[in-house]
Structure 1
Amino acid sequence: MGKLLSGISGGFTGKVGANIGYVLNGQNIVRALPHVNPNRSERQKANSQKMTVVNEFLHYMSPLIKVGFSIAARGTTKNYYNLAVSYNKKYALKGEYPDIEMDYPNVMISRGDLLPAINPVVEVVPEGLKFSWDQAHSNDSHRNNDQVVLLAYAPGSGKIRMIRYGAERSEGFETLYIIDDMLSEPVETYISFINDERTAVATSIYTGRIG
């Protein structure tokens, strides 16, 4: 049963007939309930698999995706996770149904206009993975305080290590500590930056496969 929010002419929350209402970013949203067609076309099956693949990839890194896409979601009717799914579903998949998979070099974990990492490099060190980047950047001195955002993902096991607010840009490096056998398999790596006011984020950069 749905609940009226502002009288008969207002929005509602919950299920009413074939629709569901909810509030997102202060706006009343109404959408149709999903309907599963047992006679789906190949195109529909492919789209369903794309959604499954992207959601399985993004689900366990939701705290990082929140950092990377929340700013872009402000003022829209979408949340950070919707935006991340939408982008990666469109640009970061490869293969044809039923063999669709993530295209890791094209994955985006953050999207914005902040200065990105310059010449980032990743290397294996005893503690885990050391990310480094050029400290030279624009003439805006306040960019020195931007904090690094890091991700390492092992597709084989699904293991994830991340840093949401790491070293400042001026430091030139940060270590992502890994204490298990995660590096015994190939690992996909990414880097980004967020400013200290949390009002701007850089578009992430794929820093390669380790192992």
Structure 2
Amino acid sequence: MGVIKNGILGGFKGKTGTVVGYKLKDQDIIRGVGDGRKAPFTNGELKNQSKFGVSQRWLQPLTEFLRVGYKDYNTRYEGFVAAKSYISKNAIKQDDAGFHVDPELALLSYGDMDLAEKATAVSESPNTVTFKWSGGKSEYDDRAMFVLYDIDGQDAEFDTAAVKRELKTGVFNTSESFSGRSVHAYIAFVSEDRKRRSNSQYLGVITVL
């Protein structure tokens, strides 16, 4: 049974016959319920399924970060789903071993704030990584966001509200388990109210002391 909330012209929630109604990001959605697919998947469909599977596994350790980095990506979806869509389309490469995510092409944050003109990450003391950046317009209360991702170990550590951007440097303290690991470093920026953010910038691979 479906429930109409705003009269006959409004959206409804529930199932009526072969139609399902629900709300997604303030939009009323109606879709049909299929009777099951009988035709085999095409090569193109199988390829897209494989790419989505690779991107989903790659992004899994970053789920909490993506809720900030891809917030308000568009009117239909955000967060993990938005990141998976972007990376599947823009950061998947194929070689003899199959599909994989190119970490340099992957965006962990997406937005219109200015990027840093220059940014670096280096480990200078045990279990710490120092991020430095310069350039790009910003507000006084904008924050930096840091990511360290051990892709081989499927483990990530991050901070979505690190130091103020205007400081141009920040130290990220890792867990002891990150000592000796080679990790991929990213930086991005976010407004204090979380309404705006920048694209992430890939800073390369570093070894945590």
**Equivalent pair of 1:153/1:161 in contact (CA under 8 Å):** yes
Distance 1:116 1:37 in 2: 48
Change beyond 3 A, Cα 1:77–1:195: same
Match of 2:159 in 1: 163
User: What SS does the aligned partner of 2:163 have?
Assistant: coil
Distance 1:176 1:22 in 2: 42
Change beyond 3 A, Cα 1:38–1:162: farther
Distance 2:77 2:183 in 1: 30
User: What SS does the aligned partner of 2:117 have?
Assistant: coil
Match of 1:41 in 2: 42
Change beyond 3 A, Cα 1:130–1:33: farther
Match of 1:187 in 2: 183
**Equivalent pair of 2:72/2:78 in contact (CA under 8 Å):** no
RMSD: 2.6
Change beyond 3 A, Cα 1:107–1:31: farther
Distance 1:15 1:98 in 2: 44
**2:96 aligned with 1:100:** no
Distance 2:172 2:86 in 1: 26
Normalising by the residue count of structure 2, what TM-score does the alignment of the two structures yield? 0.84
Change beyond 3 A, Cα 1:156–1:16: farther
User: What SS does the aligned partner of 2:153 have?
Assistant: coil
**Equivalent pair of 2:56/2:84 in contact (CA under 8 Å):** yes
Distance 2:97 2:7 in 1: 47
Alpha-carbon deviation of 1:106? 0.4
Change beyond 3 A, Cα 1:54–1:137: closer
**Equivalent pair of 2:147/2:158 in contact (CA under 8 Å):** yes
User: What SS does the aligned partner of 1:104 have?
Assistant: coil
Query: Superposed, which structure 2 residues align to 1:18-167 within 5 Å?
Result: 19-32=19-32, 39-73=40-74, 76-95=75-94, 99-124=98-123, 125-134=125-134, 136-138=135-137, 143-167=139-163
Equivalent pairs counted in the alignment come to 205
Residue identity opposite 1:108 in structure 2: L
Q: Identify, as 1 or 2, the structure richer in helix.
A: 1
> CA-to-partner distance for each residue in 1:80-127, whole Å, 9 max, x for gaps?
333222211100111169711111100101111111123110111323
Change beyond 3 A, Cα 1:17–1:190: farther
Normalising by the residue count of structure 1, what TM-score does the alignment of the two structures yield? 0.83
Distance 2:150 2:61 in 1: 12
Q: Identify, as 1 or 2, the structure richer in strand.
A: 2
Distance 1:210 1:2 in 2: 54
Change beyond 3 A, Cα 1:37–1:56: farther
Change beyond 3 A, Cα 1:22–1:42: same
Distance 1:15 1:151 in 2: 42
Gaps of 5+ in 1: none
